[in-house]
Structure 1
Amino acid sequence: MSEAMRRLRIGVALAAAIAALAAGTEARADAQAALDRQAIGAIVREYLIENPEVIEEAMRALRANRDAARQQVVRRVIERNRDALFSHPMTPVSGDSRGDVTLVEFFDYQCGYCKRALGPMKELLAGDPKLRVAWKEFPILGPASRFAARAALAAARQGRYLDFHLAVMGARGNPTESSVVAIAEDLGLDVERLRRDMADPAIEAYLDETNRLARDLGITGTPAFVIGDTLVPGAVGIARLRQLIADVRAGG
């Protein structure tokens, strides 16, 4: 307990004790109790005005408690959906397919922060031979995002997911249907087969399933990462990702 909070509790206790001693007879108890509450309220108000850092400390504690409660909920959701998160047969995987740690990224091809995360993700894959990355297509920014996600999953059927993903995510500007098809052509993909696979209802169903999974996890934006039993929303630097990976390894 901080010194400021300790002083506040002592002050309130003293005020209550003084008020109790001053209560007098039982006939005056109710009226005196009202006065006591007013006196205590005045003391607390004066104390908080003189020590505003106590309010800041209380707010920090409240936020920490809420964050901890939220993480507990997330851990339960991750545990219930472990297979869908880490080993879904339609989720593209890069790195070591039998890696000791799996890092899951939810992303959208039109997301600027996801584009910024591309460099760190490539660096992690290049520098950590035991890392496994699961790419969760999470197109939430419009039809162009959905089109690109379907194309990426279709490219995976030709064994070219990572090449396609890096090309679309690394392209300047937001993807369009024509730019996505052009990237497929540049990579030498069978575009006619790509279009047929993109129309497969299984791909649409998988994207819908991923959207539901993200909703259950409380993911409302991109990027978002899941590693171990931890959800990390938003763009984070490579140092943070490396620390999370190390923490999972240390925990066995």
Structure 2
Amino acid sequence: MKRRDVLVVGGLVALVYGLRALPWDRLVGSGPEFVEITELPPFRRLAVQGQSSGAGAALLGIDRASDDADARRTRAAAVRAEMCLALFGAEIEPGVVPIAYFSEFRCPYCRALEKDLDRLLAERPGAFRIVQHELPIFGPPSVLAARASVAAARQGMQQELRQRFMRTPLVADEVSVYRVASSIGIDTNRLARDIGSPDVQEELDTSRALADVLGFVGTPGLVIGRTVLNGAIPYALLRRIADDEKARPAPMC
């Protein structure tokens, strides 16, 4: 990575943490405001937007060459019909709030938000469960890293690989990806097979379709129980929303 790029990324990260250090818990007033998503019950959206990184409205990069608008609409309709399953997986454990997390490895706001999610899980053990959705929006390097992340999950190593990628300024090519994967004990031969598999493509397609339905045009995106959050928000507000969801029954959809 060029020195200029390092300085730009470093500046963005510093800005993110500077803004998040403000006393947001006192600035948000008596409580967060929500807007019901009438076309997608029982979900609601935080009335204010968080901080996000975007690459235009198209979210380019994870569609196959044969993809078209009709296929994209078909996938969106499919996930809309089974939102909880597509977002959170096969079952929602009693007493555990599921959190669907949409991220991009080159997004500085995602790096900041992940620290807050780790803090939330540490402060409330067993209360929440993160479900990872990769949403690469910054071109081929991001797509490759996202594919590797999804493929690593087949070996139970997704979070280890993601954490290593997050600490790497730039994962630009296959050599770099496989070097990082090998350094943490991932079977790179299996990883290479899985990266190009239909199952990995299907998972990325599902995450993309969910982003379309939820209106995520950048990263990060969160769905905490029934609450949709577009962009990173201060930890105090994140915690208040998470606690509110913990006090409610699991979303039924």
Give your verdict on TM over 0.5: yes
| TM class by smaller structure | 0.5 to 0.7
Percentage identity across paired residues of the two chains = 34
Is 1:219 the counterpart of 2:220? The answer is no
Q: What is the rounded CA distance, in whole Å, between the counterparts of 1:98 and 1:159 in structure 2?
A: 24
Structure 1 residue 68 and structure 2 residue 64: aligned?
A: no
> CA distance change for structure 1 residues 167 and 88 in 2, over 3 Å: closer, same or farther?
farther
- Equivalent-residue separation in structure 1 for 2:240 and 2:199 (angstroms): 36
- In the other structure, the counterpart of 2:226 is 229
- Number of equivalenced pairs: 179
SS at the partner of 1:73? coil
TM-score (ref. length: structure 1) = 0.64
Contact 2:110/2:219 (<8 A) preserved: yes
Aligned-pair CA distance for 1:241: 1.8
State the alpha-carbon separation in 2 of the partners of residues 227 and 101 from structure 1: 7
**Greater helix share, structure number:** 1
CA contact (8 A) 1:75 1:230 kept: no
| Equivalence map 1:129-168=2 (5 Å) | 129-130=125-126, 131-168=128-165
1:81 pairs with 2:83: yes
Unaligned runs of 5+ in 1: 1-64, 90-95
Q: Secondary structure at the match of 1:72?
A: coil
Cα shift readout 1:6-61 (whole Å, capped 9, x = no counterpart): xxxxxxxxxxxxxxxxxxxxxxxxxxxxxxxxxxxxxxxxxxxxxxxxxxxxxxxx
In the TM superposition, what is the alpha-carbon distance from 1:118 to its structure 2 partner? 2.2
- Which among 192, 196, 214 is matched to residue 199 of structure 1? 196
1:221 Cα shift? 0.6
Q: 1:243 to 1:203 in 2, by over 3 A?
A: same
**TM-score, length-normalised on structure 2?**
0.64
Distance 1:170 1:83 in 2: 31
- CA shift at 1:219, angstroms? 0.8
Is the counterpart of residue 106 in structure 1 residue 110 in structure 2?
no
CA separation in 1, counterparts of 2:90 and 2:102?
14
Contact 1:106 1:135 survives alignment (8 Å)? yes
Structure 1 pair 249–238 and aligned structure 2 pair: CA distance change class (3 A): same
Deviation, 1:251, is 1.8
How far residue 174 of structure 1 moved from its aligned partner, in angstroms, is: 3.0
Report SS of the residue matched to 1:109: coil
Q: Is 1:127 aligned to 2:129, yes or no?
A: no
Offset at 1:225?
0.5
Aligned Cα root-mean-square deviation (Å): 2.5
The structure, 1 or 2, with the larger RCO (C-alpha pairs under 8 Å, 6+ apart) is 2
